[in-house]
Each structure stands twice: as structure tokens, then as C-alpha cells.
Amino acid sequence: MTDDQAPELPAGLEAELGWLLGQAWHGYLTASQAVLADLPAGPRGHLVLAAAVHGSARNQIELARQLGLDRTVMVYLVDDLVRAGLVERRADPADRRNRTVVATELGRRRLAGATAALAAAEAHLLGALDPEEQRTLRTLLRRVVARQLADRDDPEAVRSMCVLAQELKDAAG
Amino acid sequence: MTDDQAPELPAGLEAELGWLLGQAWHGYLTASQAVLADLPAGPRGHLVLAAAVHGSARNQIELARQLGLDRTVMVYLVDDLVRAGLVERRADPADRRNRTVVATELGRRRLAGATAALAAAEAHLLGALDPEEQRTLRTLLRRVVARQLADRDDPEAVRSMCVLAQELKDAAG
DNA sequence: TATTGTTATACTCTATAACTATA
DNA sequence: TATAGTTATAGAGTATAACAATA
């Protein structure tokens, strides 16, 4: 058992960030889908349900922006959760265009179970790291993602990256 | 500018591993696609091209297993790279079922440019972290992924996780 | 006119099965 | 029969545009 290192990979690729992120994401998807199979829309349904229980958004668009989803997929996700009786769409008296997504009592109970199951999946996924390292990984990821979200609304950031990349390409090719 | 923390997220979700991994992966995909737009098949084409240059696999199935791809998508990726003149399929005299994927001279040159461009994208993506932290993140991810790959061929691992998740669900719900 | 929610459409990615050629 | 490569097909996920209701 050489189980801590040596995933059989072409040399020079084992530290490839894209490959690492892709594999980690794929592993999370697989594990969370297996564990949340009985929840409508799987891991993304859990995300929406959790937000509904917390009640942090006044309408679906705000909810979509918070979770990094498109407003059109939010419709399908909420549809599925409504059909399962886990959330309700409530009209906003102040602005009748808004639909506030609120969790039902059943939704709250199911969220508790789903969160516990997801915790087991995450513990399994990060099983190679000790608790301190797990905290470090989450912190680093959180900072990377925070920067990303800030850049997302800043076209200048992406443009300057592409210009730099083109210069490097010209220099190398 | 509160730009280092506080991505506007429902409380309790900002440390959600699945959300963090999904956002990080999405950010990597977007950045790498922008920077590798002229490379066939984008970031995955780069992965295959890099493996071809390194010459670590004797046939397409071995290549697919190394990169964590399906053998059927490998066909499309290699097709695209062949059409662009970056790699060739060579018959293996010892076993004529095998196709060895080898890089052309043009492929080698394009890989150098693509790798440089990708490095710029990664630097931008991890710009919130200092070099030491970037190394730490890669190391932690590598260990997580290595464990995953080991588990992937071990059905017992997934099963035991699901059993534990069900127990937690029953206890919570 | 702008915004929210919704629907329809198309495109990509993925997963599966089946077919061929070799062994 | 088993394996490597390929092809075809269906499903999920995503992105875009268009539409109705409301502001």
C-alpha cells in the first residue's frame, strides 16, 4: 500500500490544478449524489433547501445569485422541491413579482437529515487529511472563491489575464 | 472594499465544501477555456496533449484511465487533436489493437504555449493566496484526490459511507 | 422601460450499450 | 472469450432567448 502518494499519473500532471480540482469536484458530486439520492435535485436541491430554511433571500433571483446558479435552473430546482413538499413559493405583498421560497416543516426535517448525511460524505472525501488540514483546505478554497466572485463582475480582470496569457503564448510558441 | 472575505452567501453555506469546490472548478473552467480557446477541446485537450508529449501511455485506454476520463470521450479528444495536427495515432506492432497517441512537432510547440497560458490563468485564479499557501492548497488537494482514486476501485468504501449516512439521516429525521 | 418568473431551445458533457478488429 | 477502439444514443447540465406579469 503506497496509498498516500502516487496516483498513477503522467509526470508533470499530478500537480495540475485543473486536474486536481476536476477530480475533487467529480468525487464530491459522486459521493453527495449517492448520499442525497432521496432528495429532489440531489446536492443542488440541498443547497436551495438550506438557503430556504435560512431564509436569506427575498426572491428567486437573489437566491440564484447567492448560490452561483442561473435564474432559469432555479425554477426547475424550486419546482422539484415544491413537488416534494419541502418548500413553498410565497407571494411578496410588497412586490407581487417576487416569489419568496420558504421551507415547510417537512423541509426542515429533511434538511437536518440531508446535512448529516452530507457531513458523512464530506468526512469520507477528506478522510486523508487530519482535522487541522481540513480546516486549512476549506479556508484556502474560501479565499480563492471569494476573489473569484469579486472578479466575476469585473471584466477588466479577465481581459488582463487573457492579454498576459497571449504574451506568454507568443513567447513560448 | 471588503474584498477578502464576505462573499454574500446564506450563513452556514460559506464553508459548504460542495459549494466551494463547485465554484472553484467553475472558475477554473471559465478561465482556462478563455485562455485555451485556440486549443482543440480546451483544457481537456491540453491534458491529453501534455500526456501525449510525455508519452506515458501505450494506448488510449491507459491514457483515459490516467486522466480520469472515459475511454469513449478519449476518442473525441484525440480526434480533435489529430484533426488539428497536434498528435498522431500510431499502430503498435506488438499488438495491433493498440493506438499509441504521440505528439507531433507542432503539438510540442503548441503545448509549450498552452502550458504558459494556463500558468497565467492559474496564477490569476490563486491570486488571493501567497506562494506558500498555493503550494499548501495543491498538496492538500493532491492527497484528497489520491485517496479518492484509491477508493474508486473499492466498492466497500462507498458502501460503508452510505450506511453511515443513512444512520445519521435516521437519527436526524 | 425594467425586472421577476417562466418556458422553449440548443448545445455541451456524460454514461451506456453495441459494433469492429484484433488477440 | 476477452480487449482496444469506435460509433450511436440518451440523459443531465448549462446557456440563451423569448414571453407574461408586474413595477
pLDDT of residue A117 exceeding 80, the answer is yes
Q: Which H or E element spans position B88? A: strand B87-91
pLDDT band at B2 (very low <50, low <70, confident <90, very high): very low
**A129/B140 touch (CB, cutoff 8 Å), yes or no:** yes
Same domain for A22 and A96, yes or no, is: yes
Strand C CB shell (< 7 Å): A 59-61, 71-72, 75, 78-79, 89, 97-99; B 42, 44, 70, 72-73, 95-97
What 3-state DSSP class applies to A98? coil
Task: Give me the number of domains chain A comprises.
Answer: 2
Phi-psi region of B114 (alpha: psi -120 to 50; beta: other; left: phi over 0): alpha
The model's pLDDT over B121-150, given as tens digits with 9 standing for 90+, comes to 999 999 999 999 999 999 999 999 988 888
Same domain for A57 and A83, yes or no, is: yes
Assigned domain for B118 exists: yes
Contacts of B111 (CB under 8 A, 6+ apart): B46, B49, B50, B53, B86, B103
Q: Which residue of B has its CA nearest to A21?
A: B25
Assigned domain for A6 exists: no
Same domain for A105 and A22, yes or no, is: yes
Assigned domain for B100 exists: yes
Same domain for A42 and A69, yes or no, is: yes
Same domain for B109 and B151, yes or no, is: no
Same domain for B89 and B136, yes or no, is: no
Going by the DSSP 8-state scheme, the letter that residue A127 receives in this structure is T
In the prediction, which pLDDT does A11 show?
61
Same domain for B117 and B143, yes or no, is: no
Assigned domain for B5 exists: no
Calculate mean pLDDT across residues A93-111: 97
Q: Residue B111, class by beta-carbon neighbours within 10 Å (0-12 exposed, 13-18 middle, 19+ buried)?
A: buried
Residues spanned by the domain of B134:
129-173
Same domain for A93 and A173, yes or no, is: no
pLDDT band at B109 (very low <50, low <70, confident <90, very high): very high
Q: Which of residues 140-169 of A touch B (CB under 8 A)?
A: 140-150, 157-158, 161-162, 164-166, 168-169
User: What is the pTM assigned to this prediction?
Assistant: 0.91
Assigned domain for B8 exists: no
Q: CA B101 to CA B89: how far, in whole Å?
A: 5
Assigned domain for A62 exists: yes
Q: How many Cα atoms sit within 13 Å of B39 on the Cβ side? A: 35
Same domain for A166 and A108, yes or no, is: no
B91, β-bridge pairs: B99
Same domain for B94 and B140, yes or no, is: no
Q: Which residue of B has its CA nearest to A69?
A: B23
Judged by average pLDDT, the poorest of B20-24, B109-113, B137-141, B155-159 is B155-159
In the prediction, which pLDDT does A158 show?
78
pLDDT band at B157 (very low <50, low <70, confident <90, very high): confident
Q: How far is the CA of B125 from the C1' of C1 (A)?
A: 38
Assigned domain for A47 exists: yes
CATH number at residue A98: 1.10.10.10
Same domain for B27 and B83, yes or no, is: yes
In the prediction, which pLDDT does A8 show?
54
- CB count within 10 Å of CB B155 equals 9
pLDDT band at B1 (very low <50, low <70, confident <90, very high): very low
- List bases in chain D with any atom under 7 Å of a protein Cβ: 3-8, 13-17, 21-23
Assigned domain for A3 exists: no
In the prediction, which pLDDT does A1 show?
39
Query: Which of B85, B100, B125 is a domain's end point?
Result: B125
pLDDT band at B4 (very low <50, low <70, confident <90, very high): very low
Same domain for A82 and A146, yes or no, is: no
Q: How far is the CA of B68 from the C1' of D12 (A)?
A: 19
